[in-house]
Amino acid sequence: MTTLVIGAHGQVGQRIVQQLAATGETVFGGIRNAEQAATIDKLGGQARMFDLMGSADAMVPAMHGIDTVVFSAGSGGSTGDDMTLNIDLDGAIKAIIATEEAHIQRFIIVSAMGTDDREFWANSSIRPYYVAKYYADQWLQHRTNLAYTIVRPGILTDDEPTGKIALNPEKTDNTRITRADVAATVTAVVRHPLPHQIITLVNGETPIETAVQQAAALQ
């Protein structure tokens, strides 16, 4: 299977590229400038230029030969709300449109826990981020025929990976998850598809591969 990771130079994106490549998958890393290509190569992927500020039509050639698209791009905390709209919302939607134009069936997007709760937005210091994520997720669910999976992790940390998660927890005191464990979950979803599902995840007690396989078996 061949996967394109959009936002491959980001903190979660790099980990996804590395972990997918380690499984033997063919991985292309979508990057915005050529200087990032060396990093993708070191992680075991192959770089492809991918401009989220460009048109959807311009994105299609970079999707040639791809089976699964993973969207892990984000504007980052150092940019303003304008870039949140440009990347996390408009960029995501253009990537979704391009995926359909390229006749690819599978699209996995890294979203965020709390995205579907407007009361949560109101108490957040990054409300525009959640608004952008919400409407990108809505577009993916209701405006496409893609076999989507929406991955909504809790608060991201740079702690050492645990290899364990709680998937779709009903009640939990923990709202955090390591970036490496998010990447491992996305990698598992690529290998064990969860079409038309939204999954939330935090660090927990179930091995990641087991949690995803159990979710796949329930479809």
CATH number where 60 lies = 3.40.50.720
Tell me the per-residue pLDDT of 100-126, one tens digit each, with 9 for 90 and over: 999 999 999 999 999 999 988 888 888
pLDDT at 61 over 80: yes
Question: Phi, psi (5° rounding) for residue 74?
Answer: -160, 155
Q: Is 129 a known active-site residue?
A: yes
pTM: 0.96
Per the structure, the complete domain to which residue 113 belongs is given by 2-217
pLDDT confidence band for 78 (50 / 70 / 90) = low
Mean pLDDT along residues 85-100: 97
- Indicate the number of domains in the chain: 1
Q: Which value, to the nearest 10 degrees, does the dihedral of the CA atoms of residues 180, 94, 90, 195 take?
A: -50
Order of strands across the sheet with 68-71? 46-49, 26-31, 2-6, 68-71, 106-110, 147-153, 197-203, 164-167, 206-207
Q: What is the mean pLDDT of the chain?
A: 95
pLDDT grade, residue 97 (50/70/90)?
Answer: very high
- Mean pLDDT, range 44-71, rounded to an integer: 97
Instruction: Read off the pLDDT band of 77 (50, 70, 90).
Output: low
Cα separation, 83 vs 81, whole angstroms = 5
Average pLDDT over residues 45-52: 97
Q: Say how far apart CA 80 and CA 9 lie, in whole Å.
A: 19
List, for residues 121-160, the tens digit of each pLDDT value.
888 888 999 999 999 999 999 999 999 999 999 999 999 9
* pLDDT value for 210: 97
